[in-house]
Amino acid sequence: MPELPEVETVRRGLASRVVGRRVEHVEVGRERTVRRTSREALIAGLTDTTIVSADRRGKYLLCPLDSGETLMIHLRMSGRVLVVPAGSPRPPHTHVAVRLAGAPSRPPEELWFVDPRTFGEVVVYDPDRVAVELPELARLGVDPIAEEFTRRQLRRLLRTRSRQLKQFLLDQHLVAGIGNIYADEILHAARLRPQRPSDSLSTMAEARLHTAVLGVLNAAIEAGGSTLRDAQYVDLFGSGGSYQEAHRVYGRGGERCLTCGVGWVRRIVVAQRSTHYCARCQR
C-alpha cells in the first residue's frame, strides 16, 4: 500500500510528535512483526531509549535512537503507524505498542504499529552493521526526492540496462520509493508508455520523466498521500490523504483519459503488476 509519499507523510508526523520522546514501555503482540530479530530484541532495543530523529529512505522509516541503534519500520502492504493517547483501546492487529513518556506539557501517548496482513516489520538494528542486519536497506537505490537524483543520474540509471520503464521505476535497487500507483501516474505525466524500453528515451523524454517523478511525488506528499477506497492508509493521526483525487490513470481502467479527453485508459499487466495508461497520450 504505502509508497514514498505516504511513508514521507508518516515520517513528518513522527518528526513532529515523536522525536525527542523517551520510550517507557514496549509490548509486542504478534511475533511475526518482529521476525527479523525477536520480541525480546525489540523490547530491549527500544525500552528506555529516546528517539533522536525521523528519517526515510525509499519506503523505509528510520528512527535513530540515543542508544546508537536505529528503529526501522516498513509498512509493506497494510501497515499503519498511529499515535494515540495512552490507554486508548487498541484495534485488531495492533502488533506493537510503544508507550512514550509524558512531559510537563505533554500527556503520555502510545505509538502503535497496526498491520492486518502482517507483511510489515519493525526492528531495532545497529547502523554500523546494516549490511548484515538489513541487507536490502544497504542495497537501496537513490531516493527520488533527494538532491542527488538529478537528470544526469536518472539518465545513467535508465541506460544501465534496457528494461520496461514500469519495471525500472519499481526496482527499489535503482530508485527507491516508487510503487505501483505512482509508477503509473509518473509515466502518464511523462507521456511515456509503461512498456517502453528504458534505454530508448530521447533527452527530452528523459527530462520529462525526471520532471514527472519529482512533480508527482511532491504533489502527492503535499496532498498527504493517497488513501484508496479501503482506507488502509492513514497518517499518524488517523487522517487519510487526498492525492487519490488527482490520480489520472491508476484505478481508472476503461474510463476516458482525463488528460487528452480522446483516448481510453487501458488496464494491462506489466512487470506482473496491474498497469494503467492512455494509449493515445503515452508513447
Partner DNA sequence: AAACAAACCTGTGCGC
Partner DNA sequence: TGCGCACAGGTTTGTT
User: Could you list the residues that contact DNA (CB under 7 A)?
Assistant: 1-3, 32, 58-59, 74, 76-78, 92-93, 116-119, 136, 161, 163, 167, 170, 172, 179-181, 226-230, 232-233, 244, 272-274
Q: Which of 11, 56, 59, 196 is catalytic?
A: 59
Is residue 3 annotated as a catalytic residue, yes or no?
yes
At its nearest, how many Å lie between DNA and the CB of residue 67? 25
Is residue 2 annotated as a catalytic residue, yes or no?
yes
Q: In sequence order, what are the beta bridge partners of 99?
A: 25, 110
Give yes or no for a contact between 224 and 242, defined as CB atoms under 8 angstroms apart.
yes
- Between residues 49 and 198, which has the closer beta carbon with respect to DNA? 198
CB atoms within 10 A of CB 231: 9
C-alpha cell at 208: 520529462
Q: In sequence order, what are the beta bridge partners of 82?
A: 112
Distance of CA 83 to the CA centre of its chain: 18
At its nearest, how many Å lie between DNA and the CB of residue 20? 27
C-alpha cell at 52: 533522536
Is residue 107 annotated as a catalytic residue, yes or no?
no
Element (H, E) at 155: helix 151-160
- Between residues 22 and 273, which has the closer beta carbon with respect to DNA? 273
DSSP reduced 3-state for 150 = coil
- Between residues 39 and 273, which has the closer beta carbon with respect to DNA? 273
Q: CB neighbours of 82 closer than 8 A, spacing ≥ 6? A: 111, 112, 114, 234, 236, 237, 238
- Between residues 106 and 161, which has the closer beta carbon with respect to DNA? 161
At its nearest, how many Å lie between DNA and the CB of residue 66? 27
At its nearest, how many Å lie between DNA and the CB of residue 25? 26
Nearest to 277 by CA among 72, 260, 257: 257
Give yes or no for a contact between 187 and 210, defined as CB atoms under 8 angstroms apart.
no
- Between residues 7 and 209, which has the closer beta carbon with respect to DNA? 7
- Between residues 202 and 229, which has the closer beta carbon with respect to DNA? 229
Is residue 197 annotated as a catalytic residue, yes or no?
no
Q: Which of 163, 208, 273, 280 is catalytic?
A: 273
At its nearest, how many Å lie between DNA and the CB of residue 120? 9
CB atoms within 10 A of CB 41: 15
* Distance between start and end Cα atoms, the chain: 27
What's the farthest any 2 CA atoms get from each other in the chain? 61
At its nearest, how many Å lie between DNA and the CB of residue 220? 11
Give yes or no for a contact between 180 and 172, defined as CB atoms under 8 angstroms apart.
no
Query: Where in the sequence numbering do the catalytic residues fall?
Result: 2-3, 59, 273
